[in-house]
Structures are given as structure tokens and as C-alpha cells.
Chain A
Amino acid sequence: MVELRGIIQYYDGGHKHVQIVVRREHNDIYETHELGVDMPVTKDRILAELASLETAGPAQLIWPHHIEAVDIKRSSENDKDIKVG
């Protein structure tokens, strides 16, 4: 069993980095895995990575409902919809 606990996307050095945080069965220690740089984040891509982490037979993957695979953009030009609070 591999359970997804988070999807992290951040920019550093001009590139977008993507990581996932997972938990395995009977283990409270969370593992962080690098997925790559400048890659689009999609549910299929994350599921493929989760499946590759399952080493004990058929993949048993848990994707909690509160986690979404939403790709972020580096910047949104001329987007001034966020006003001073």
C-alpha cells in the first residue's frame, strides 16, 4: 500500500520542481520523492509514480480526496485580480 500525502511544486533556479510525499503501509515515516523538473502535474503522472513505488505485488494506491493534481504556472501576466487587502 502506498498512500499519497502531498504534492509539492516550487520554483528554484528558473525551473519548477515537483515532489510527492507518500506513506507506506505500517510505516508512519513519510517519504519524499522527486518527480522531476518542468513537468506538468497531472493525476495520471502522479498515479504512475505511485505505482512505481509499490513493490509488494499488485499496486494498492490510496489517493485521499483532499489532494488535487493541479499544475501551477510560473507567472500570470497582467493578472491584477489580487488587490491589496
Chain B
Amino acid sequence: MAHGLPDYYRGVDIAYQALSELINRPKYGGCKRSTGTMIVTANANNTLFSLSGKGMIYGGLVQTSYIASQKNALIVFYIDGALILNEKLAHLNTNVLDKPRSYPLVLNKYDDTNFIYAVTFSYGITFETSIQLIYQENDGGTPAVGYKIFYALI
């Protein structure tokens, strides 16, 4: 420190270049995980998870295994009250949206013969007020839908 005081006695003046280097990073709380399984209601929006707070999503998973097709199911994500994702499983498959971090929602498994489906969320989705994760059942079935979501609150 050039002026005789430790760094913490004065504000950082970027223009003055009082410090040769400024390290900055977002302050996050620790990683949290919410997980569960729901036997969803047929032909309805099923809320799996809801959070009110501010933070960032690290990743997550929605998966289902059933005795009949769920190809018309929608994975729905509201961020800060706005509809951000509403993707039909069949559309994810048709458009080959299966590359990690290329899209907020990534298709990992689409087996419409054995009726196994899995999607994951990309890293780094931020939210200022809320998240809501919904499974919209559109095939008239009642599968057990499992999910995990990893996130931090700040």
C-alpha cells in the first residue's frame, strides 16, 4: 500500500489504481439441493418445486419412467414470474437439443419405446425473485416424475 494505510481503511479507487489488482466474485450462499418425486395429475400443470429468493441455478434433472408415452409432456420453468421455458419432450428430441450448455434445457434421454425420459438444466441461470418448476402432463397418464435441482441463494 503506497499511502501508509492498509487496503481496508479506504475505498477502492479503480481510476487511481491504488490496488494493482482487484479480485471480484459474486457472493453466494452454499449450494443447496431440493429433490423429490411426484405422481403427477393427468392433463394438468403439476408444480414440482417453487422458491422465493435470489440466486443462481447450478443444474438439475427431471426424469420419468412410465408404462406409456410422455412425449407430449412439457417441462415448464418460470423465472422471476416470467415464463422462460416451456419445452415439449418430443420437440427437444426433434430439434436434437441434447448438447450440454447449448440451451437452458438439455435432453439426456428420450426413449419413446420403453418410455424413459430425462432432461437436465444448464448451469448458471440466475434469478432475482423466484423459480417455479412445473411438469405439464399432456398424454393422460399419471407417471412418477422425479426431479433434483441444485442452486445457491444469495
Question: Of A29, A68, A74, A82, which is within 8 A of B52 by CB?
Answer: A68
Q: Which residues on the B side are within 8 Å of A69 (C-beta)? A: 52
A52 CB to nearest B CB, Å: 20
How long is the Cα–Cα vector from A47 to B115 in the complex, in angstroms?
45
Give the nearest-CB partner of B129 in chain A: A66
CA distance A29 to B136 in the complex (A): 36
| Interface presence of A70 (CB below 8 A) | yes
B41 within 8 A of A: yes
Residues in A with CB closer than 8 Å to B154 are 5
Q: Report the minimal beta-carbon distance from A28 to chain B, rounded to whole angstroms.
A: 8
Asked if B53 contacts A7 (CB within 8 A), the reply is yes
Chain B contact surface mostly: strand
Contact (A74, B47) CB under 8 Å given A5-B53, A12-B38, A21-B32: yes
Whether B86 lies near A82 (C-beta < 8 A) is yes
- Any A CB within 8 A of the CB of B128: yes
Q: Are A72 and B50 in contact (CB under 8 A)?
A: yes
Q: How far is the CB of B113 from chain A (nearest CB, A)?
A: 23
- Contacting residues, chain B, for A68 (C-beta < 8 A): 52, 129-130
In the complex, how many angstroms separate the beta carbon of A65 from the nearest chain B beta carbon? 9
Where chain A touches its partner, the secondary structure class is loop
Give the number of chain A interface residues (Cβ < 8 Å).
35
B40 CB–A CB distance under 8 Å: yes
Of listed A8, A29, A67, A68, residue having the most chain B CB within 10 A: A8
* Bound complex: CA A21 to CA B85 (Å): 26
Q: Is the CB of A72 within 8 A of B132?
A: yes
* CB closest chain-B residue, reference A12: B36
Give the contacting residue for A76; candidates B44, B50, B85; CB below 8 A: B44
Question: How far apart sit A74 and B129, CA to CA, in the bound complex (Å)?
Answer: 21
Whether B136 lies near A82 (C-beta < 8 A) is yes
Which residues of A sit under 8 angstroms from B128, Cβ to Cβ?
Answer: 66
CA distance A84 to B95 in the complex (A): 14
Residues of B that sit less than 8 Å from A by CB: 27, 29-30, 32, 34-41, 43-55, 74, 76, 83, 85-88, 91, 128-130, 132, 134, 136, 153-154
Q: Which 7 A/B pairs are nearest by Cβ-Cβ distance?
A: A12-B36, A6-B53, A75-B41, A30-B29, A85-B86, A75-B44, A7-B52
